[in-house]
């Protein structure tokens, strides 16, 4: 293929659009789906909310792991340790689905809907051990009721069983955080230039339920949309694959090689902010900031 052919192939005929119809379609969509516009306040190109959300992904990963993986029969055994990462797209619809199940509840209350959720050691802002302990019970019925659904019956061997999720210690360093600035539209948000995180990879132990039993039961719960459940079921080796939730409408993701191991790049749709997450030697690392993929990889590969 020569240059002319490439140009012809890429330069397809200009599409003819009807902007009035398109605007009407847009209006119908936002009205039907109840999509509200952003409040008229000043925002930076990369919102700290997005970065904070990405930084919080590690925490969400631990919860996702608890919902996805379980253990083997017998005494408490470690049944999950991440060796690889895989992106799991999470849509606004998935979040709405979970939102209905957890309406009006905080995280602990929401987790409680799937069982009794207790912090064995609460998370602390410095280098500490943190462990979440979840015990399944029949409170999923309350969650199902909020969605007008009937919770599936809990298998006898899951009822009363325990999962132990161990994570940390973790260290997060933030560079280049500008101070919030007042503008003519209001207060602009502070946006960190670079966030580097390092944590002991989370592990999950169980006192006696099988992977298939717990995964099947949890993924059929009312708060997990069918699409998300299908994506989580598609994970090849659930005992060593850490699912990383990626907001499907806002970000792109693909595997990358970081420090000789497979990692995951996540970038927002504008291409001006990104993150690299990888696991090596039992540790999880993440580099997040207002930069593109090549810059994120350069920073990640320069870490010692």
Which residues bind to another protein, rule: CB under 8 A?
1, 5-7, 9-15, 17-31, 35-38, 40-43, 45, 47, 185, 249-250, 252, 254, 267, 269-272, 292-294
Smallest gap from residue 271 Cβ to another protein (A) = 5
- Closer residue to another protein, CB minimum distance, 20 or 127: 20
Smallest gap from residue 139 Cβ to another protein (A) = 33
Identify the CA nearest to 221 among candidates 147, 118, 117. Answer: 147
Smallest gap from residue 186 Cβ to another protein (A) = 11
- Closer residue to another protein, CB minimum distance, 17 or 156: 17
- Closer residue to another protein, CB minimum distance, 16 or 126: 16
- Closer residue to another protein, CB minimum distance, 94 or 111: 94
Q: Angle 211-219/57-68 helices, nearest 10 degrees?
A: 110
- Closer residue to another protein, CB minimum distance, 89 or 155: 89
User: How far apart are the C-alpha atoms of 152 and 115, rounded to whole Å?
Assistant: 14
Q: Which H helix or E strand runs over 181?
A: none
Structure tokens at 266: 């996540």
- Closer residue to another protein, CB minimum distance, 21 or 237: 21
Structure tokens at 160: 């009363």
Identify the CA nearest to 247 among candidates 269, 278, 225, 231. Answer: 269
Give the long-range contacts of residues 143-148, CB within 8 A, separation 24 or more.
Answer: 143/101, 143/102, 143/113, 143/114, 143/221, 143/222, 143/223, 144/101, 144/221, 144/222, 146/100, 146/101, 146/103, 146/222, 147/100, 147/101, 147/222, 147/223
Smallest gap from residue 36 Cβ to another protein (A) = 8
User: How far apart are the C-alpha atoms of 136 and 67, rounded to whole Å?
Assistant: 11
Smallest gap from residue 28 Cβ to another protein (A) = 5
User: How far apart are the C-alpha atoms of 12 and 271, rounded to whole Å?
Assistant: 24
Smallest gap from residue 242 Cβ to another protein (A) = 22
User: How far apart are the C-alpha atoms of 179 and 196, rounded to whole Å?
Assistant: 19
CB 196 within 8 A of CB 287: yes
User: How far apart are the C-alpha atoms of 98 and 258, rounded to whole Å?
Assistant: 33
- Closer residue to another protein, CB minimum distance, 7 or 127: 7
Smallest gap from residue 264 Cβ to another protein (A) = 14
- Closer residue to another protein, CB minimum distance, 81 or 293: 293
Smallest gap from residue 72 Cβ to another protein (A) = 36
The verdict on whether omega for the bond into residue 169 sits within 30 degrees of 0, i.e. cis, is yes
């Amino acid at each position: 293929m020569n240059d002319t052919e490439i140009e012809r192939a890429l330069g397809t005929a200009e599409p003819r659009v009807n902007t009035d119809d398109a605007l009407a379609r847009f209006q119908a969509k936002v009205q039907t789906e109840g999509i509200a516009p952003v409040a008229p306040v000043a925002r930076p190109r990369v919102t700290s909310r997005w970065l904070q959300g990405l930084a919080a992904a590690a925490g969400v990963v631990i919860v996702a792991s608890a919902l996805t993986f379980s253990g083997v029969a017998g005494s408490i055994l470690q049944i999950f340790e991440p060796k690889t990462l895989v992106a799991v797209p999470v849509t606004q619809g998935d979040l709405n689905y979970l939102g209905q199940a957890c309406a009006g509840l905080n995280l602990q209350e929401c987790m409680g809907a799937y069982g009794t959720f207790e912090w064995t050691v609460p998370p602390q802002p410095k280098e500490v051990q943190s462990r979440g302990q979840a015990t399944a019970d029949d409170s999923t019925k309350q969650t199902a009721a909020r969605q007008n659904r009937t919770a599936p019956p809990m298998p006898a061997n899951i009822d009363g069983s325990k999962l132990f999720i161990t994570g940390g210690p973790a260290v997060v360093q933030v560079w280049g955080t500008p101070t919030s600035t007042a503008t003519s539209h209001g207060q602009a948000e502070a946006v960190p230039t670079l966030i580097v995180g390092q944590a002991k990879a989370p592990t999950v132990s169980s006192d006696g339920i099988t992977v298939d039993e717990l995964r099947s039961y949890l993924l059929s719960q009312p708060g997990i949309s069918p699409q998300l459940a299908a994506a989580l079921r598609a994970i090849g080796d659930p005992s060593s694959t850490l699912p990383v939730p990626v907001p499907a409408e806002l970000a792109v993701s693909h595997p990358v090689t970081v420090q000789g191991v497979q990692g995951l790049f996540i970038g927002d749709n504008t291409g001006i902010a990104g993150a690299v997450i990888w696991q090596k030697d039992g540790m999880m690392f993440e580099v997040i900031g207002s930069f593109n993929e090549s810059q994120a990889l350069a920073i990640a590969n320069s870490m010692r």
